Every structure is written in structure tokens, then in C-alpha cells.
């Protein structure tokens, strides 16, 4: 009987020693590792919409009158549609296997493309 009591106490003691708490891991972002998108909120009305109006929704292209290839790229509701913005973004970046846009023009400046990417990553806000 005494032997069983000693075994029981050993099991209880060892069971209590094991720390069963969840380790909290704090993630610290080193200085200088934030991206442009982490530091700004991109505005649809002052940054994104003007890019599309000036580069895409021009007369005869993706404006309301023409809607080339079935795409009108003027309003937030049009540009925030997942399928439309995915396709438009691929063409703007000149991804392979898509027709590069704007048609017959140079690729948009990388900073403009970055702004569009940030806007998408930030949830395509109507701000």
C-alpha cells in the first residue's frame, strides 16, 4: 500500500511540474521593415480613382460610353469588384499572358502601381 502511495505522489508531483500554460509570443517589427502600405492609408477618391480615370477610363477605352472589353473603370463599385480589379491590376502590371494596359502606352509608374496594390491590400475602401 505504501508503495502505491509513493507512486501516486510521484505521478501527481511530476504532473504538477509540467507547465501547461500557453506561451505568448510577442512579435516585434524591427525598425525600417515597414512597407509603404503599412505606413499610409490609400484614398480611393484622391489617389486610386484619378489613376484609373486618367489612364484607363479615357474616351474610347474603359469609360461609361465605351466599356471596352466589357470593363468600365470609373467608380468605386466597378473597381472594387474582385474579378474586375484582379484583371485590371494584372494588365496594369504587364503580367504575362494579358494585354498590357494602358493600350499603346508605357507601363504606369511603379509608385502608382504600388498605390493600387496598397488600396487592394487595405480592403478596397471607398474613402
- For residue range 18-58, list pLDDT tens digits in order: 444 444 445 455 666 778 788 889 999 999 999 999 999 99
- Over residues 46-71, the mean pLDDT reads 94
Secondary structure letter of residue 44 according to DSSP: I
Q: By the 8 A CB rule, do 48 and 122 touch?
A: no
Q: What is the pLDDT of residue 53?
A: 96
Distance separating alpha carbons of residues 107 and 113, to the nearest angstrom:
9
Q: 113 is written with which cell numbers?
A: 502601381
Alpha carbon 112 to chain centroid, angstroms: 15
Distance separating alpha carbons of residues 121 and 56, to the nearest angstrom:
21
**Could you give the angle at the alpha carbon of 82 between the alpha carbons of 79 and 84, nearest 5°?**
55
Q: What is the pLDDT of residue 2?
A: 65
Amino acid at each position: 500500500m505504501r508503495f502505491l502511495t509513493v507512486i501516486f505522489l510521484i505521478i501527481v508531483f511530476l504532473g504538477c511540474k509540467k507547465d501547461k500554460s500557453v506561451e505568448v509570443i510577442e512579435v516585434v517589427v524591427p525598425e525600417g521593415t515597414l512597407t509603404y502600405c503599412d505606413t499610409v492609408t490609400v484614398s480611393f477618391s484622391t489617389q486610386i480613382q484619378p489613376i484609373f480615370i486618367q489612364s484607363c477610363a479615357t474616351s474610347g477605352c474603359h469609360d461609361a460610353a465605351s466599356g471596352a472589353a466589357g470593363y468600365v473603370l470609373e467608380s468605386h463599385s466597378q473597381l472594387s469588384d474582385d474579378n474586375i480589379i484582379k484583371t485590371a491590376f494584372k494588365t496594369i502590371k504587364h503580367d504575362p499572358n494579358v494585354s498590357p494596359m494602358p493600350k499603346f502606352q508605357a507601363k504606369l509608374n511603379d509608385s502608382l502601381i504600388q498605390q493600387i496594390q496598397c488600396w487592394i491590400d487595405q480592403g478596397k475602401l471607398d474613402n
